[in-house]
Amino acid sequence: MSTIIHMSKAYSIVNVSVKDKENLDYSLDVIMEGLEDIYRNFNFDNNNENRKRVDNLIEKSLEVPEGTLLLAKADQNIIGYSFSGKRVNEITGLRYPFIYALWVHPDWRAKFVGVRLLEKNIQLLEQRGFKLVAAQVNYNNKIKETFAPRFKFEPNSLIYTLSLADKKENEIDS
């Protein structure tokens, strides 16, 4: 754990392991809050089914070398987090770490908390011998203009989505 002081506010970055059940249980509420914020355009909510899915993803992720869960804490409150897990390219078979989420509480944004979380996450993955890390960023998230160039992330592909629920019958040209 490292303590960082920014503008007279101290916070620390805690690396959570799968054995650290107390921090895992404690962090799920904040993780869900952050995911609701990140995925607000996708109608993601903090229901029991989603909580169970996210809890399982985090626990499963922490059991593999690609997995990390980092908590930024100030006065024992979680002010941000980052977590990664394993991805496998189904065509090439390449296995690599994938950053599922990076979130900072609105009161702590623009104070380098997200930068420190991402730095630590990348550092841990480098120490584990990985040469590549990927992350998905929502199209309207300004992180792609700030974090991506700062850390030298490069666009690799675009994923387009089409809501079929909003399409009227016969609206799609043949």
Q: What is the pLDDT of residues 7-42, one digit of tens each?
A: 547 898 988 877 776 666 668 888 888 888 888 777
Element spanning 128, H or E: none
pTM: 0.79
- pLDDT over threshold 90, residue 133: yes
What domains can you pick out in the chain, each with its CATH number?
Answer: 2-151 (3.40.630.30)
Rounded Cα distance, 72 and 165, in Å: 38
Q: What is the mean pLDDT of residues 79-106?
A: 92
Give the model's pLDDT for residue 130.
94
Query: Which residues lie below 8 Å from residue 58, measured CB to CB, with a gap of 6+?
Result: 24, 28, 31, 69, 83
Segment among 1-5, 63-67, 128-132 with least mean pLDDT: 1-5
What is the residue whose two structure tokens read 């869900």?
A: 32
